[in-house]
Structure 1
Amino acid sequence: MRGIAIAVLGLLLSCNVMAGDKPGLKPGDTPPDMLGTTQRGQDVTISSLHGKIVVISFWATWCGYCMQEIPVLAKLQALATQRGLPLQVVAVNHREDRDTFVRTSRVLRKSLPELLVTWDRDGLIGKPYGVSGIPVMVMLHRDGTIAHIHVGYGEDMLDTLLGEINALLVEQPTATASVAIH
């Protein structure tokens, strides 16, 4: 029994650990511009998404929590797109090999077409955020500065995350931003 508890604890820690106590970046900071490269080789930058609330999720296929989070984020993106809300979810594949990234991107693009998926081969994009374990979610204000950084994922967090996203959407009210996501 003790062996099973230790194995479960190890699995949880492998998906939810950050380097040190805090990431290098914190709310209010301006992060580096690069968000990775798409499966088709296009660079994605924060500056290219200026004016949108950006939700960045660092994930990998081996992380069960990440794979639970991805469909939720894709539904959020689809709903925001449908309602004309200035929101972009960027799912950054963290430190997996190119073949895994390409295969997974193709599958995600077919089943979750609204999701923008990029690749962080060496973990350099996640490093300034303190990403060493995953999932890690970062929310950016419309001006590209960091609003929130979350480590880990749990369904009990959904209301908090949606509340934070809705608050970001109404920070600079526009005609379309007054519609909340539920």
Structure 2
Amino acid sequence: MTRALLFTVVILLGAVAGVFGYQVWDQDRPEPRPDLTLPDLQEQPRSLSEWDGRLIVLNFWATWCPPCVEEMPLFQRLQDEYGDRGLQFIGVAVDRPDAVAEFVAEHDIRYPILYGRQAAMSAGQDFGNQAGTLPWTVIIDREGHIRHVFDREVSREQIEPVLLDLL
């Protein structure tokens, strides 16, 4: 009887350890990115899947958002510096297309810009922005997993180490 009880205890401990181990492993797995399709400034629908295989920096922003406007030149510089290594910035403007087109031309932003009002806000929620704050920047690795979120304006010192780690 003692052997049977010992055997049962060992089996139970193994099961508990297995469940706990799976939960820890599951928490460390990055979250897969949601789908996203919005129009670009030429009114063409663009899907985030077009850039699969690249390190994507998805930035939700608006022309009327001062911190958003502040970080846009940095994002263009980083795109210029690391684009040939597989980095792809994509802007999602929560704004009117005419205001976005004017801003992009004025500030020489050359990476893809998608736009929408309610659709862009809904997309932001899909990427974790439940409060609708701007800017909201999501870093998606080459396998399509969300690896980092910045919930405010980001500096070069904050974002560049994350990018270099994933490039």
Under a length normalisation based on structure 1, what TM-score does the superposition of the two structures give?
Answer: 0.68
- SS at 1:80's partner residue? helix
Distance 2:37 2:31 in 1: 16
Q: Structure 1 vs Structure 2: percent identity of aligned residues?
A: 24
Distance 2:109 2:42 in 1: 16
Distance 1:80 1:36 in 2: 25
Give the corresponding residue for 1:117: 113
| Runs of 4 or more above 6 Å deviation | none
Give the corresponding residue for 1:67: 69
- SS at 1:62's partner residue? coil
Structure 1, unaligned stretches of length 5 or more?
1-26, 170-182
Distance 1:72 1:168 in 2: 18
Distance 1:139 1:32 in 2: 12
CA RMSD of aligned residues (A): 1.8
Give the corresponding residue for 1:80: 82
- After the TM superposition, which residues 1-182 of structure 1 pair with which residues of structure 2 at under 5 Å, given as runs? 28-81=30-83, 84-94=84-94, 96-108=95-107, 111-113=108-110, 115-122=111-118, 123-131=121-129, 132-155=132-155, 158-169=156-167
> What per-residue deviation string (whole Å, max 9, x for no partner) do you get for residues 129-160 of structure 1?
233010011000101110001110143xx223
> What per-residue deviation string (whole Å, max 9, x for no partner) do you get for residues 8-33 of structure 1?
xxxxxxxxxxxxxxxxxxx7122222
Amino acid in the other structure paired with 2:109: L
- 1:105 shift after superposition: 3.6
Greater relative contact order structure (CA < 8 Å, 6+ sep): 1
Is the contact between residue 34 and residue 127 of structure 2 (CA under 8 Å) also seen in structure 1? no
Is the contact between residue 34 and residue 43 of structure 1 (CA under 8 Å) also seen in structure 2? no
Distance 2:64 2:47 in 1: 25
- 1:50 shift after superposition: 1.1
- SS at 2:77's partner residue? helix
Is the contact between residue 96 and residue 116 of structure 2 (CA under 8 Å) also seen in structure 1? no
Aligned residues: 135
- SS at 1:164's partner residue? helix
Which structure dedicates a bigger proportion of its chain to helix?
2
Larger radius of gyration: 2
> What per-residue deviation string (whole Å, max 9, x for no partner) do you get for residues 33-60 of structure 1?
2152210122222221111000011110
CA 1:98–1:128 in 2, change beyond 3 Å: closer, same or farther? Answer: same
Amino acid in the other structure paired with 1:32: P
Structure 2, unaligned stretches of length 5 or more?
1-28
Amino acid in the other structure paired with 1:159: E
Amino acid in the other structure paired with 1:151: D
- SS at 2:113's partner residue? strand
Is the contact between residue 98 and residue 121 of structure 1 (CA under 8 Å) also seen in structure 2? no
